A and B are shown apart, each in its own frame.
Chain A
Amino acid sequence: MGRVSPPAVRRDPDRDPGLQPERTRLAWRRTTLSGTVVAVLAVKTTLHGGVSAAGIVACALCCVLWLGVLGLAHRRIRALAATPGPVAFAPRHAAAAVLCTVAMAVCGAALVL
């Protein structure tokens, strides 16, 4: 996504701090949008062709995981906005986001099979 800036132009260091957290915030937003697409597709898969109890459970789990991703993004966005020099991204936070994604894929496998 066009983030390349011409190397010859030197940025004013005073302007950069406002920009980087903003871009990171938008990156989190895009990630939640991708998660939303996956959750919607999961609901569609569940409703398509015969609703079963196991399907409903997997779908509900997917929706909970989607909420988890939303919550993580929300927390991170709040942390980015809170201070001018943003707090470092914690490995635990990254691991939580990845675990949500992996669990969504596992639910997907359960739904597809």
Chain B
Amino acid sequence: MIEFVRNVRLWFAPAEVRRDGETPDYRFSLANERTFLAWLRTALALIGGGFAVDQFLPDLRWGWRVGLALALLAAGVLCSLRAVNHWVRCERAMRRGEDLPVSRFPALLSLVVAVVAVAMVVVVLVGWEG
């Protein structure tokens, strides 16, 4: 968490990132940028999913519908914050010639998506009965 706060400072201080180590081959930087964009798209997809739950499951009870939608929106927020954080960490590791940072986040996100998917199936079945 403290590491995260320290990285937040780096998001807005390009000079500080550039002071570290040496500039890597620009192709690596571009690959890192594309990974960041892929995570950002994942975040946008989760946010879109939140809207979709709200819009396309109108028969659900209010609580379930809003709860699921908010969970997906929150997942989108987390995912986008993590995207920029991971990008900064990778950029710094490349400049310093260190190993790229490992992360638990992909596993965590896939678990959350799986749980939400199962919850949606259950809720849709139960919701349509009641």
The answer to whether B77 and A105 touch across the interface, beta carbons within 8 angstroms, is yes
- Of the candidates B10, B38, B70, the one whose C-beta lies within 8 Å of that of A27 is B38
For A108, the closest partner residue in chain B by CB is: B73
Dominant SS among interface residues on chain A: helix
Q: How many B residues touch the partner, as a band? A: 35 or more
The answer to whether A86 and B30 touch across the interface, beta carbons within 8 angstroms, is yes
Per the CB 8 Å criterion, the residue count for chain A at the interface is 41
Q: Say how far A91's CB is from chain B's closest CB, in angstroms.
A: 5
Q: Is the C-beta of B60 less than 8 angstroms from some C-beta in chain A?
A: no
Interface residues of B in 48-106 (CB under 8 A from A): 48, 50-52, 54-55, 66, 69-70, 73-74, 76-77, 80-81, 83-84, 87-88, 91
B interface vs A, CB < 8 Å? 10-14, 17-18, 23, 26-27, 29-34, 36-38, 40-41, 43-45, 47-48, 50-52, 54-55, 66, 69-70, 73-74, 76-77, 80-81, 83-84, 87-88, 91
